[in-house]
Structure 1
Amino acid sequence: PAAFRAAPTGPRHWSLPCGRIVDRPRFGWRGCLLDVARHFLPTREVLRFVDLAAAHKLNVLHLHLTDDQGWRLEVPRYPRLTEVGGWRRRSMVGRGTPDAFDDRPHGGHYTTTDLREIVAYAAEQHVMVVPEVDVPGHSQAAIAAYPELGNEQSRLLDVWPSWGVNSNILNASDHTVAFFRDVFDHVMEVFPSPVVCLGGDEVPTEQWDYSPLARRRAAELGLARPADLHGWFVRRMVDHLHDRGRRALGWDEILDGPGLPAEAVIGCWRGVETGHRAAAAGHDVLLCPEQHVYLDHRQSEHPDEPVPVGFLRTLADVYRYEPVPPGTPDAVAARVLGAQAQLWSEHLDSPRRVDYAAFPRLAAFAEVVWSPREAREPDGFERRLAAHHLPRLDALGVEYRPLTGPRPWQTRPGVAGRPR
């Protein structure tokens, strides 16, 4: 463990027995999503998370950079995206009834230089940074900055302070399509990754149903209903990325739109059946089901568990996750690029909370995506974790969740969750 500290605290040399290690990763994509849109993390904390990912042989950091609650990516052509969209007046606390807020402004963004630093540092650690700019939903921060992007332009919006699915989505005008092409052009200048994520998930279409512009646009395009603009809008962004030599990654809702190019990668978050559907349509698949690998979800049923949201997923549950279970059709298995854990940050408002949610479950996930199914053994993993790996996390300064439950300062008394 001392080898993981920032400076020597004892002997500077360690001896190892002679031997030969023959090993290789099971999947080429071993990723973790870090949501910096809901709660911003300074550059130094992103670099630290890169170190932690690399120490666990994860090779993809998926940075979720924009959402209703904040726009974290500098785009020089559109400065209001960060001047206005980069901060909110307050934040929802937990998921209780009624909603509770902290009335504390929250914000921050990354300059182009910051992002280039993150990309370069990650590359030195053999980690690819995949950026995400979410369209056409999860976009209220952008609409607050540039109201002409929205459907109700007479109603000025603030950056959204709440959690959940938001009805304020982008409009389907040529101006909005061109605006986000410009945004993605800047993203591609900063991020050299061959894959760029455009989101595409959780898009309520009621505003389009009532918008004269959307109804007219749908009719001009020969679409059966305004809701079909979702697939049309996503296709515009997918084609733009592909025309410039990148591959689009989108969440599995983008499968619902017709004519999606087979080159698009599908992030399957709603369940294994969407992976089968994507593979059948000729798409490569990234497995990230919320039922198994959403690490912001609660870790126990104990009343001290902080902000208990989502599904119960213990350390043992994560270790038991099998991305390609027995019986998976060969045609589907061949399309699986890998798997990705998710750290959505609605309830992770500090680096300490990120540590608590991620570890040691991310260590279990790392072994799932590295080791073949037959090489994994739960009892052996837990023994190795307790005897050897938790001391390494201690040396790295990770404030992980103890195996016996949260420490008193890791609890959130009085903050309600919403378990599923």
Structure 2
Amino acid sequence: MGAPRVPDIALVPQPAELTASRAPGPALTSATRIDADAAAQDTESWLRAELGAATELPLPPGEGGDAPIRLRVDPAAGLGPEGYRLTTDGAGVLIVGHDPAGVFYGAQTLRQLLPPAAYRRAPTAPPTWTLPAVRVTDRPRFGWRGCLLDVARHFLPKHDLLRFIDLLALHKINVLHLHLTDDQGWRIEIRRYPRLTEVGAWRRETQVGHARPAAFDGRPHGGFYTQDDIREIVAYAAARHITVVPEIDIPGHSQAAIAAYPELGEGAPVEVGREWGVIDTVLNVSDTVLDFYRAVFDEVMELFPSTYICIGGDECPKAQWKASATAQRRIAEEGLADENELQSWFIRQFDAYFAERGRRLLGWDEILEGGLAPGATVASWRGTEGGIAAARAGHDVVMCPTRTSYLDYRQSASAAEPIPVGTVLTVADVYAAEPVPPELADAGAERVLGAQVNVWTENMDSPRTVDFMAFPRLSAFAEVAWSSAERDFAEFLPRLRAHLARLDAIGVEYRPLDGPHPWQQRPGVPGWG
């Protein structure tokens, strides 16, 4: 038997360098121990728990030569941030990381070298836990490898959110952009303003599909995370080297907050939103509203250590401001040209507020309209144009254009796709995306922090449907965000097929590559696009 061909080692995402040897690789047995230096001990604990559950091996601590698995942090190893080197040979397993994150990613790669049963929560028919003999040197292309998860439109219980975090970690995703508030729900406890969850976390019914006139299910829906839940979620993610970036939407997409506290709005009292789409309801621009949201963000910043706080800033209708004496007076007092500049003025209040507290504002590309706040970072979703403009103006950018990054979009043109919305976005389309636009290739590319995909959940009413829409497209995105090598979908596809066996072992209800299962369809429920 010769050395295994590299394509047969189905790693996702593809590492920067991978060589396989004809020599026999190590096996995990009841004698296998794990030795970690102080900086790698969190990964040691994680690896023992994950592999121990699947293999029923104790994997106790060892020391030096007594330990076939050795984990080390060495900033002088020349690997770069989050980089690692993994060697498996007759001497055992050695993972060296530039930092603790690098060791963790090396351990994720180690797990992928084992059979898919290594992802089960308890032993099945015991395979032989033998590793191939390989040498992997790897590092990420981008520092921001993100996934937005919308828990405002449909609430995702904490248990399922923690499971989703594990799936992100498996794919070396390091940012969870958590969309916590919108017209249709407020999902985070704010102790100073209890009605945000007492009222704002619940709606009386939900639009089903996108028929006109709208059809509703007649079922109340809601839920929220307590502050202790949030602390747990943030800590759980941090242990997997994932930063949770919270999003509290202002000044549009705020109807749930206005339903709870009508004085925040510009018009008559409203209920928590039941319909999808852009709703005319917006916040008023009084000092009272600014103080309200400063207090909200004080509690948010206490819970989330993330440098970035997202304020949304997208899809803010201006009709209520045009008719509002308060808004028009603010425009006059501040010397603003129009309602677009009023929105920019509103956003700048929080840009300054965050900066004073060592944080940075993240917003969707509409925050460019009327003038960009000095410290703002832009998430470019309406194509790449907003990101290009922001980068050229000296601002950092996260690329997530709809045509390659919106995982709520239909996965094929087939009528079998459930509630088909948007344009077709296949696995191959996601894989072919290039986060750095050619317009920035010569100047401005350094402003692209990275990329993310967005899981908007208007039509995802359960964890099963989140699985279906996110996977395996998120697996393809992981390689876009991590790997620097030129991408070839024909080369990726066999690795992806092997990777699906891991998702099967975990229990991910992904969309099969050849189309939905019958029970994943939603016959008769219309979409849009």
CA distance in structure 2 between the partners assigned to 1:258 and 1:186 by the alignment: 28
Give the equivalent residue in structure 2 for 1:228. Answer: 341
| Aligned with 2:276 (options 163, 171, 178) | 163
Report the Cα distance in structure 1 between the residues aligned to 2:438 and 2:372, rounded to whole angstroms.
31
Aligned residue number for residue 141 of structure 1: 256
The structural deviation recorded for 1:404 is: 1.1
Give the secondary-structure state (helix, strand or coil) at the position aligned to 1:331. coil
Q: Give the deviation of 1:58 after TM superposition.
A: 0.4
Could you say which residue in structure 2 is the equivalent of 1:26?
141
1:159 alignment partner AA: V
Q: Which residue of 1 aligns with 2:303?
A: 190
Q: Give CA-to-partner distance per residue, 1:1-40, whole Å, 9 cap, x none.
A: 1001112223376121333211111111100000000000
C-alpha spacing 1:373/1:252, structure 2 compared with 1 (3 Å): farther
SS at match of 2:164: helix
Judge conservation of contact 1:208–1:227 (CA < 8 Å) in 2: no
The answer to whether the 8 A contact 1:322-1:373 is kept is: no
Q: Confirm whether residue 296 of structure 1 aligns to residue 408 of structure 2.
A: yes
2:130 is matched with 15
In structure 2, the residue matched to 1:273 is 385
Aligned AA (1:210): A
Q: How does 1:104-115 map to 2 (within 5 A)?
A: 104-115=219-230
Instruction: State how far apart, in whole Å, the 2-side matches of 1:171 and 1:277 are.
Output: 28
Match of residue 365 from structure 2: 252
Alignment of 1:370 onto 2:370: no
Matched position secondary structure for 2:135: coil
Conserved? CA contact 2:117–2:124, under 8 Å: yes
Separation in structure 2 between the aligned mates of residue 230 and residue 48 of structure 1, nearest angstrom: 37
Contact 2:248 2:311 in 1 (8 A): yes
Kindly provide the CA deviation profile for residues 287-327 of structure 1, in whole angstroms up to 9, marking residues without a partner as x: 00011110000001111110000111011111111112556
Match of 2:317 in 1: 204
Q: Distance in 1 between matches of 2:201 and 2:281?
A: 17
Aligned-partner Cα distance in 2 for 1:4–1:224: 58
CA contact (8 A) 2:341 2:371 kept: no
Partners of 2:203 and 2:315 lie apart in 1 by 21
> How many residues align structurally?
414
CA distance in 2, matches of 1:327, 1:372: 19
Percent sequence identity over aligned pairs = 62
**Contact 1:87 / 1:159 at 8 angstroms: preserved in 2?**
yes
SS of residue in 1 equivalent to 2:440 = coil
- Give secondary structure in 1 for the equivalent of 2:394: coil
Matches of 1:105 and 1:326, distance apart in 2: 47
1:189 Cα deviation after fit: 0.2
d(CA) in 2 for partners of 1:156 and 1:284? Answer: 38
User: How far, CA to CA, are the matches of 1:317 and 1:91 in structure 2?
Assistant: 31
**2:314 and 2:364 in contact (8 A); partners too:** yes
Q: Residue in 2 aligned with 1:86? A: 201
Shifted more, 95-104 versus 127-136: the winner is 95-104
Aligned equivalents of 2:496 and 2:337: distance in 1? 55
Instruction: Measure the CA separation in 1 of the matches of 2:339 and 2:412.
Output: 42
Mapping of residues 20-419 of structure 1, within 5 Å: 20-152=135-267, 155-258=268-371, 260-261=373-374, 263-326=375-438, 328-374=440-486, 376-386=487-497, 388-419=498-529
Distance 1:157 1:385 in 2: 47
Query: What is the TM-score normalised by the length of structure 2?
Result: 0.77
Tell me: higher relative CO, structure 1 or 2? Use CA pairs within 8 A at least 6 residues apart.
1
Q: Distance in 1 between matches of 2:439 and 2:326?
A: 48
| 2: CA distance, partners of 1:42 / 1:103 | 21
Tell me how far apart the structure 1 counterparts of residues 339 and 167 of structure 2 sit (CA, whole Å).
Answer: 44
Q: Is the 8 A contact 1:167 1:206 kept in 2?
A: yes
1:94 to partner: Cα distance: 0.5
Cα 1:197/1:327, change in 2 over 3 Å: closer
Q: TM-score if structure 1 supplies the norm length? A: 0.97
Instruction: Give the SS at the match of 1:92.
Output: coil
1:329 Cα shift?
3.1
2:407–2:473: 8 Å Cα contact kept in structure 1?
yes
What displacement does 1:98 show?
A: 1.9
Cα deviation for residue 69 of structure 1 reads 0.1
Q: Cα deviations across residues 63-115 of structure 1 (Å, max 9, x unaligned)?
A: 00000000001000000000000000010001112211111100000000000
Tell me how large the CA RMSD over aligned residues is: 1.2
